[in-house]
Amino acid sequence: MSTIVPASLDIRGIRLLNLAMDEALAAIDAALAAGQPTRISFVNADCVNIAAVNAAYREALATTDWVFIDGIGMRIAGRIMHQPVRDNVNGTDLFPRLCQSLEQQGKRLFLYGAQPGVAAAAAGWALARFPALQIAGTLHGYQPAGAEAETIDAIRASRADVVLVALGAPAQETWIARNLEKTGATVAIGVGGLFDYYSGRIPRAPLWMRRLGLEWLFRLIQEPRRLWRRYVVGNAVFLSRIGIDWLRARIKGSRPDKLVPRRTS
């Protein structure tokens, strides 16, 4: 039996590319080969909540070249809105495969963001597995106010092809929107807490929890005081917003999936 899977989704006004992980990686390779400046973000349920109240983030996402669909919340939203999600394309799973691909292509990677020492430790993780990977540089994400020009100069001087920006949403998306071209890099990707995981600063959920879509629960248990609002309140707010959109679509008498269909078997 075949299902119609849209090539892109619209969840709460955010246009998301409905790609499988392999396709996302191939698209990044193609952008690098063509030297095509490309801004990439991952959007999960928490990001949708931030976008609902932050106009600068909405604007940055609207001009982001590729927004990938991250997490179980988005999968549930897609199902409710009759827009099936193909894959969970998140930065944490993409990172090792991206490193491998950059190593093979001889492209240079810069890691910008997270607490002092964390980006360098994540680079160390990557080099231990991909020894020929070219790390153009690392820089922590707590630079003094007004130091943006110095940060851009450092990335430009490093001749990076790909910059991973780990400042959290929405700061990383607005940073990339302002600065990708100035850095001289081809691809910039907002990656949230990715360096925290690969540096070992924060443990990642075991595979069985990730497979069940429970990574958020694992993170909540690790840092309940910081994250309870994001996950406990946030998930409920997210689902009620999706529920309202579903109701609106029902009342209008049409499904919201007016986007280009893709047929898969």
Nearest to 98 by CA among 32, 16, 179, 9: 32
Which of the ranges 146-154, 167-175, 206-214, 236-244 carries the binding residues for ligand UDP, by CB under 6 A? 167-175
Residue with the two structure tokens 């009620």: 240
- Is the CB of 35 or the CB of 224 nearer to ligand UDP? 224
Min dist CB 194 to ligand UDP, Å, is 7
137 binds ligand UDP (CB under 6 A): no
228 binds ligand UDP (CB under 6 A): no
193 binds ligand UDP (CB under 6 A): yes
Helices 91-105 and 21-34 cross at an angle (nearest 10°) of: 40
Min dist CB 63 to ligand UDP, Å, is 20
Which of the ranges 22-30, 75-83, 109-117, 210-218 carries the binding residues for ligand UDP, by CB under 6 A? 109-117
Tokens encoding 177: 């929107």
Helix (H), strand (E) at residue 111: strand 108-113
Min dist CB 61 to ligand UDP, Å, is 14
Nearest to 262 by CA among 13, 22, 11, 17: 17
Tokens encoding 66: 């590729």
Residue with the two structure tokens 């691909």: 101
Which of the ranges 50-58, 62-70, 108-116, 147-155 carries the binding residues for ligand UDP, by CB under 6 A? 108-116
Q: What are phi and psi of 131, to 5 degrees?
A: -60, -25
Positions that interact with ligand UDP (CB under 6 A): 113-115, 141-142, 166-169, 192-193, 195-196
